Amino acid sequence: MKCSTCGYLGFEAGERCRNCGYEFSLAEPYEVPELTIRPSTADAALPLFVSPFDDDTPLITKASPPRAPLAVRRTTPDAVRLRGATPAKSATAELALDLRPSPATHVAPAEAAPMAAAARRPDTAVQHQDAAVSRRVFAGVLDLLILLAVDIVVVYFTMQICGVTLGELELLPKGPLVVFLLVQNIGYLVAFTAGGQTLGKMAAGIKVIAGDSDGSLDVGCALKRTMLSLLLAVPAGLGLLPALFDRQHRGLHDRFAGTRVVRATA
């Protein structure tokens, strides 16, 4: 209830105002005006819901002309050809090469036959010069020195890790150490041989090739050559002596793996 004197608005029902103490019975009665409601008619409807067209009137009153089927339509119109006009020359005829020999490049008939025979001759294999025995021995000794130095470094660091001295070298486990050194040395030879040159062969200027080709060896061929060369070198290197008497200086391991040792070209 709202007080007409102080304007206090309260929701409690009472005879006096809780703010100023005014008695509500002293206020003049207020008559609520009577509201008239207009009767609803059909014309007073909202225009949004009134359709200006009749439901039975068709929306399309003019039929469109029929189109040709899709299979017989043409994407581009035919070019109009004038009567009596000559067709233009093709681009290939304009760009045709002049195959007539010029006077400066004229070849005599006596010289034309050898040149034609040389042109028909297939490409011959690349000629390689076989490596000398001295170069192969130098490369082998250098590879052995490199492997020996690597093995000494591995043994030294193994002793440092295990905390043993040189006098206590027999305390190291010999089986795993020997297997590791063999795998390391064979892996060095196989990896570098598959590339064509070990470090010793690089210094000697020679390389290993597959037969008469100049391609690099695969890993299987390099493994066969390395394993057989190690077996032939066990009896004091006597298994490698056939390379001294061969015309191409190929040892048994080279013939078994199908390889050759030749001079490396720059």
- Residue spans per domain, the chain: 1-30, 133-263
pLDDT tens digits for range 94-145: 444 444 555 444 545 555 555 555 445 444 455 788 888 899 999 999 999 9
Q: What is the torsional sign of CA 165, 166, 171, 175?
A: positive
For residue 233, is pLDDT > 80? yes
Burial-class residue 227 by CB neighbours within 10 Å (0-12, 13-18, 19+).
Answer: middle
Q: Which residues is 206 bridged to in the sheet?
A: 263
Amino acid 130: pLDDT: 85
Amino acid 145: pLDDT: 95
Residue type, 253: H
What is the rounded distance in angstroms from the CA atom of residue 255 to the CA atom of residue 189? 18
The three-class DSSP label of residue 206 is strand
What is the rounded distance in angstroms from the CA atom of residue 110 to the CA atom of residue 117? 12
Pick the more confident residue, 164 or 151.
151
Quick one: how many helices (H) and strands (E) in the chain? 8, 2
- The rounded percent of the chain whose pLDDT value lies above 70 is 66
Between the alpha carbon of residue 114 and those of residues 101, 104, 126, the distances in Å are: 18, 19, 22
What is the rounded distance in angstroms from the CA atom of residue 191 to the CA atom of residue 181? 15
Amino acid 184: pLDDT: 93
What is the rounded distance in angstroms from the CA atom of residue 172 to the CA atom of residue 150? 18
pLDDT tens digits for range 55-91: 677 777 777 777 777 666 566 555 556 565 555 554 4
